Amino acid sequence: NAGVTQTPKFRILKIGQSMTLQCTQDMNHNYMYWYRQDPGMGLKLIYYSVGAGITDKGEVPNGYNVSRSTTEDFPLRLELAAPSQTSVYFCASTYGQINEQYFGPGTRLTVT
Amino acid sequence: AQTVTQSQPEMSVQEAETVTLSCTYDTSESNYYLFWYKQPPSRQMILVIRQEAYKQQNATENRFSVNFQKAAKSFSLKISDSQLGDTAMYFCAFMSLIIQGAQKLVFGQGTRLTINP
């Protein structure tokens, strides 16, 4: 298993541009999550999904959108990028309610 | 709302020494889980150890153990016989269950641990 994969690894955006961060897991996990990690801080939950077709907001959802059309994929969309969205983005997945979350390697995004 | 506080931004010890990282949390829930995650320079988040709040026995994983004090809402991580590969950011995290069984992880600010040769 590849686990949780994220693309791209790095990206620089100009203010106002849009992009999609890709996340794929091959472990047949039903729950998937998107986090952001600002410099020197812990991770904060942006959006989560409990299964295909079902998503909900986390702690810091403003400026982002998600979709979950398949069990494997959970893309994160940034519309109208702003400097405040400069961060490292992590995707994670888990099976069941109390099991360990498996994290992807992260995407470092800079908005200038 | 739950909060997690790690009061030690940085720590540094010599190889083979024992080090303890502190974590306190605030919650009104009675059933929850606590985790310590390690984040090396590669940025990968790696689970170190977990503790179920309903268990009185402290969790242990090889050289890693916790001191879980539920009444004090304290959850410290002890690393014994520290190794160079333990150098990383360490995050304490509180987990509760939200809608339809999804997990909500709340992270502390992290402690940067350096193991010196």
What is the three-state SS of B1-47?
Answer: CCEEECCCCEEEEECCCCEEECCEEECCCCCCEEEEEEECCCCCCEE
What per-residue confidence (pLDDT) applies to A95? 87
Both tokens of A2, joined, read 């590849």
Eight-class DSSP state of A73:
B
Q: Do A50 and B91 touch (CB under 8 A)?
A: no
Q: Do B110 and A31 touch (CB under 8 A)?
A: no
What per-residue confidence (pLDDT) applies to B29? 86
User: How many other CB atoms are found less than 10 A from the CB of residue A90?
Assistant: 26
Distance from CA of B86 to the nearest CA of A (A): 18
Q: Do A33 and B100 touch (CB under 8 A)?
A: no
Q: Is B5 on the interface with A (CB under 8 A)?
A: no
Contacts of B69 (CB under 8 A, 6+ apart): B75
CA atoms within 13 A on the CB side of B78: 12
Q: How confident is the model at residue A75 (pLDDT cuts 50, 70, 90)?
A: very high
Query: Could you give the CA distance from residue A5 to residue A24 in angstroms, rounded to a whole number?
Result: 5
Q: Do A105 and B91 touch (CB under 8 A)?
A: no
Q: Which residue, B86, B74, B78, is CA-closest to B112?
A: B86
Q: Do A105 and B108 touch (CB under 8 A)?
A: no
What per-residue confidence (pLDDT) applies to A57? 94
Residue A85 has pLDDT above 90, yes or no: yes
Q: How confident is the model at residue A99 (pLDDT cuts 50, 70, 90)?
A: confident
∠ Cα A19 A20 A26 (to 5°): 160
Q: Is B4 on the interface with A (CB under 8 A)?
A: yes
What per-residue confidence (pLDDT) applies to A53? 93
Test the B interface: residue of A43, A94, A108 with most B CBs within 10 Å = A43
Q: Do B97 and A98 touch (CB under 8 A)?
A: yes
Q: Which residues of B touch A31 (CB under 8 A)?
A: 101-103
Can you list the positions of beta strands (E) in A26-75? 31-37, 43-51, 54-57, 64-66
Tens of pLDDT, residue by residue over B70-102, are: 999 999 999 999 999 999 999 999 998 777 778
What per-residue confidence (pLDDT) applies to A64? 97
